[in-house]
A and B are shown apart, each in its own frame.
Chain A
Amino acid sequence: MEDFIHSESVDSDLQLKVTISREKLVENVNHVIKAVSSRTTIPILTGIKFVASKEGIELTGSDSDVSIQSFIPLEENGIENATVDIPGQIVLQARFFSDIVKKLPGDQVDLEVDSRLMTRITSGSSEFNLNGQDAEEYPHLPSIREENSFNIRTDVLKHVIKQTVFAVSTSETRPVLTGVNWNIQNGKLSCVSTDSHRLAMRTISIETEDNLEKSNVIIPGKSLSDLAKILDDSGSDWVQIIITDNQILFKSNHLQFYSRLLEGNYPNTQGLIPQESKTEVILSTKSFLQAIDRASLLAREERNNVVKLKTLNDNTIEILSQSTEIGRVFENVSTKSIEGEEIRISFSAKYMMDALSKIDATEIKINFTGAMRPFLIRPVDEQDILMLILPVRTN
């Protein structure tokens, strides 16, 4: 306390001095604290980095795997958010800082940092003093070079994430497979994920100024799931994406989301996707999904969740599932068409439902090349989404 009285008497000692709308501060602290983990092994990451400049105030939270940065402009739509008297930076203990700003009584918050990094937070009649940490100690996030960036609509990005992230591997035996592999070529972004039992691939066109090419950009599935949640808050229609050697950055309005990339080389999946087809079935996505869903009731009691599919003569397929303990269920589903050889194949009901629920089209076509070979599920006349499932061998 003595220190503090001393610091107040020497105003020139201040390293940072700002006044900021409490509401804005709370909102933005809430964004960045999502990235802060209490289990970090790096002491500085227990804090939130607070940077005040002539443009505004930037907050950063990170668990080193993902980092979230949030920017509060001094003025927005004619409303003043903050004034910066002395620009500067500080790292403040995240939990305390967040709890404090939430409970402060006034509409405005004054924040001052002295040369010993003692931070005084005042609002209304309330005053807190927090020990800050040197912002120089905080990780340096990659700087943004606009020329290598491209844009995707927010809703499209969220959709792409949903359509691919479900198929990443949860096992650490092959770490690259815990991520989604992004490749950019000829103005197209392709996203592939596989846990080696099924594969999801989604391709979209992107807006890029120059002929941007990137390959083997493996984004941890967990980061993408986190990102999808953050995107809900951003309120922006577009996301700008920048890929560096070690991180990927998603920039949306005043929010920036960074994720580290995975090491290693993603396996060449293109060569693993069958090009030929021996049997093609076209049918309604919804009625097929519902039939599999019903069959899965018994299938999930058995190993590998097996349901069996068999083509019949009159444009119908039979779905069968049985459990030793409970019984069996079978059902005929009519299709629009069945072409090629007849097929009997077993597969995981769960994988099939996962895949079908990610396809928006009302009709799908399934291409089989044999009971022991991967088969493809696609919308009837779209090429930009593809689901592949490996069958289950039954004896």
Chain B
Amino acid sequence: MNQSRVIFHIDMNSFYASVEMARHPELRGKPLAIAGKVEDRRGIVVTSSYEARAHGVKTTMQVWEARRKCPQLIVKTPDFDLYRKVSRQLFDLLRTYTEKVEKVSVDEGYMDVTALASRHHPVKLAQEIQQQVFHHLQLPSSIGIAPNKFMAKMASDMKKPMGITILRKREMNQTLWPLPVDEMHGVGQKTAEKLKKIGLQTIGDIAHYPKPAFIEQFGKYGEKLHDRANGIDEREVDPQSEHEFKSISQSITLPKDLTEEEEVQPVLRRLAARLERKLKEKKSMSYQLSLSIRYNNWRNVTRVQSVQQPLQTEEEIYQRAIAIFYQHWNGQPIRLLGITVQSLEPMNKATKQLDLFTYEKDAQKEPLYDTLYSLEKKFGPSAIHLGWKEDPRDQK
């Protein structure tokens, strides 16, 4: 990473409210809130337009409270399907500039425009993108320009809506460092409290704190924070990140054609065991499984099944696979068997609804969770990545 990069962070301004306004022009310029259960006055405001924010309407405020602050407030129920659709259109548009687009969520993403920067001035390019997005989708955005992801993200936050902000390393002492630690991307409420306790009030304070001492107190996560406060962030813009390990497949071509159920069972078990290993390596769980059977006449049958509860262990994968097998095997000799696990989600996000008749198996792991929790309580939430870990992105 010797060559200096040009990274954009594009952040859509009050995305849901903006999408609603684009779809319903009559709402433009009016205070609008998106909230669940409009008919219920205790519904919660999910997001609101700048006009509503100006009246003091805030996210997670209850509707009655928001209405008290802003009597003329228009409240709509969220249409997540529409938001996802518009989000797809947005990223398709961004990808017409460069392939190096990383979607972080429905309404924000990074672009690595280093290759374009030799021909276009980054600010001109950002204006062009911002204008195109506004022209085609009627959506306001803010773009941060910086040499890395962290600084680009910080930059896009600085001017909203329709802002373009450049953050340069050499100007950090004026732009980034005076900001309070609460505003640093990646610092949650609890970390912020801890930082303040040791007298670190601004990002600059972190940057100037001795690195080894900082790591000692905040662990591996602390090292990242310290680097970032100093404008160091080598993470690449990864277009694959949202598609990462979409699926894992394992198959076996059999040394001889199988004709008996009893012969099939151990083969599927072996495949399931291999998949368990791979899933654990990738710290993932699967919400979809497909089974492939190739018969000795080369006919292939592949059947996919989605599951409510994630699969990870050999047993879970095997049970699902054998069930599909019994449903679809036509009795002919089998030459190849394969299992693919797909719809993968990171383990720390996957949840499993326990079952009355089988929960004991899961409950056996409970003492481990208890131990981890007490460790976490003793050493802070970032020490162990299990249990009640909070997503830093959601904290501001």
The answer to whether any beta carbons of A and B sit under 8 Å apart in the complex is yes
* Interface residue ranges, A against B (CB under 8 Å): 194, 196-199, 267, 269, 272, 290, 293-294, 297-298, 301-304, 306, 308, 310, 322, 324-329, 344, 346, 348, 370-374, 388, 390-395
Q: Which residue of A lies closest to B43 (CB)?
A: A297
B37 contact set on A, CB distance < 8 A: 297
Contact with B355, one of A269, A304, A373, A390 (Cβ below 8 angstroms): A390
Question: B387 contacts A392, CB within 8 Å?
Answer: no
Question: A372 contacts B42, CB within 8 Å?
Answer: no
Question: A390 contacts B36, CB within 8 Å?
Answer: no
* Complex-state Cα separation, A198 to B373, whole angstroms: 26
Contact with A393, one of B46, B105, B308, B351 (Cβ below 8 angstroms): B351
* Complex-state Cα separation, A197 to B362, whole angstroms: 14
A302 contact set on B, CB distance < 8 A: 351
Number of A-B contacts (CB under 8 A): 103
* Complex-state Cα separation, A197 to B358, whole angstroms: 10
* Complex-state Cα separation, A327 to B15, whole angstroms: 13
A308 contact set on B, CB distance < 8 A: 388
Q: Can you list 17 pairs linking A and B with CB atoms under 8 Å apart?
A: A197-B354, A197-B356, A294-B43, A297-B46, A302-B351, A304-B352, A324-B105, A325-B105, A325-B106, A327-B60, A346-B351, A372-B369, A374-B354, A392-B351, A392-B353, A394-B351, A395-B350
Contact with B354, one of A294, A303, A391 (Cβ below 8 angstroms): A391
B347 contact set on A, CB distance < 8 A: 395
Is B115 engaged at the interface, CB distance under 8 Å to the other chain? no
Question: B59 contacts A327, CB within 8 Å?
Answer: yes
Residues 13-30 of B contacting A (Cβ, < 8 Å): none
Question: B356 contacts A328, CB within 8 Å?
Answer: no
Question: B356 contacts A329, CB within 8 Å?
Answer: no
Question: B357 contacts A393, CB within 8 Å?
Answer: no
B78 contact set on A, CB distance < 8 A: 326
Question: A322 contacts B386, CB within 8 Å?
Answer: no
A197 contact set on B, CB distance < 8 A: 353-356
Residues 109-151 of B contacting A (Cβ, < 8 Å): none
- Given A370-B363, A370-B366, A392:B394 Cβ within 8 A: no
* Complex-state Cα separation, A138 to B11, whole angstroms: 70
Contact with B356, one of A199, A290, A394 (Cβ below 8 angstroms): A199
* Interface residue ranges, B against A (CB under 8 Å): 36-37, 42-44, 46, 59-60, 62, 78, 80, 105-106, 287, 308-309, 347-357, 359, 362-363, 365-366, 369, 373, 386-388, 391, 394
Q: How far is the CB of B66 from chain A (nearest CB, A)?
A: 14
* Complex-state Cα separation, A20 to B277, whole angstroms: 76
Question: B366 contacts A329, CB within 8 Å?
Answer: no
Question: B365 contacts A372, CB within 8 Å?
Answer: yes
Q: Which residue of B lies closest to A329 (CB)?
A: B60
Contact with A272, one of B42, B106, B309, B357 (Cβ below 8 angstroms): B357
Residue with the greatest number of chain A CB neighbours at <10 A, chosen from B60, B365, B386, B388: B60
A374 contact set on B, CB distance < 8 A: 354, 356, 359
Question: B42 contacts A290, CB within 8 Å?
Answer: yes
Question: B362 contacts A372, CB within 8 Å?
Answer: yes
* Complex-state Cα separation, A311 to B207, whole angstroms: 37
Q: How far is the CB of B320 from chain A (nearest CB, A)?
A: 12
Given contacts A327-B60, A329-B44, A373-B363, 15 further A-B contacts (CB under 8 A): A196-B355, A196-B357, A197-B353, A199-B356, A293-B42, A294-B42, A297-B43, A303-B308, A304-B309, A322-B391, A372-B359, A372-B362, A392-B352, A395-B386, A395-B387
Q: Which residue of A lies closest to B366 (CB)?
A: A372
Q: Which residue of A lies closest to B46 (CB)?
A: A326
Q: How far is the CB of A325 from chain B (nearest CB, A)?
A: 6
* Complex-state Cα separation, A390 to B353, whole angstroms: 7
Question: B44 contacts A272, CB within 8 Å?
Answer: no
Residue with the greatest number of chain B CB neighbours at <10 A, chosen from A194, A272, A303, A346: A303
Leading 4 A-B pairs by shortest Cβ distance: A297-B36, A372-B363, A390-B354, A393-B352
* Complex-state Cα separation, A326 to B15, whole angstroms: 11
- Given A306-B351, A324-B349, A272:B60 Cβ within 8 A: no
Q: Which residue of A lies closest to B395 (CB)?
A: A328
Q: How far is the CB of A212 from chain B (nearest CB, A)?
A: 29
Residue with the greatest number of chain A CB neighbours at <10 A, chosen from B308, B359, B362: B359
* Complex-state Cα separation, A294 to B35, whole angstroms: 11
Q: How far is the CB of B279 from chain A (nearest CB, A)?
A: 13
Q: How far is the CB of A230 from chain B (nearest CB, A)?
A: 31
Q: How far is the CB of A303 from chain B (nearest CB, A)?
A: 6
* Complex-state Cα separation, A269 to B351, whole angstroms: 25
* Complex-state Cα separation, A324 to B393, whole angstroms: 9
Q: Which residue of B lies closest to A347 (CB)?
A: B353
Question: A294 contacts B44, CB within 8 Å?
Answer: yes
Q: Which residue of A lies closest to B388 (CB)?
A: A344
A393 contact set on B, CB distance < 8 A: 351-352, 354, 362
Contact with B394, one of A194, A328, A348, A390 (Cβ below 8 angstroms): A328
* Complex-state Cα separation, A281 to B37, whole angstroms: 29
Contact with B357, one of A267, A324, A370, A394 (Cβ below 8 angstroms): A267
* Complex-state Cα separation, A372 to B347, whole angstroms: 17
B351 contact set on A, CB distance < 8 A: 302-304, 306, 346, 392-395
Residue with the greatest number of chain A CB neighbours at <10 A, chosen from B80, B351, B388, B391: B351
* Complex-state Cα separation, A287 to B155, whole angstroms: 42
* Complex-state Cα separation, A2 to B275, whole angstroms: 78
Q: How far is the CB of A174 from chain B (nearest CB, A)?
A: 9
* Complex-state Cα separation, A297 to B80, whole angstroms: 12
* Complex-state Cα separation, A290 to B394, whole angstroms: 24
Question: A322 contacts B105, CB within 8 Å?
Answer: no
* Complex-state Cα separation, A194 to B358, whole angstroms: 14
* Complex-state Cα separation, A394 to B369, whole angstroms: 10
B42 contact set on A, CB distance < 8 A: 290, 293-294
A294 contact set on B, CB distance < 8 A: 42-44, 62
B373 contact set on A, CB distance < 8 A: 344
Q: Which residue of B lies closest to A267 (CB)?
A: B357
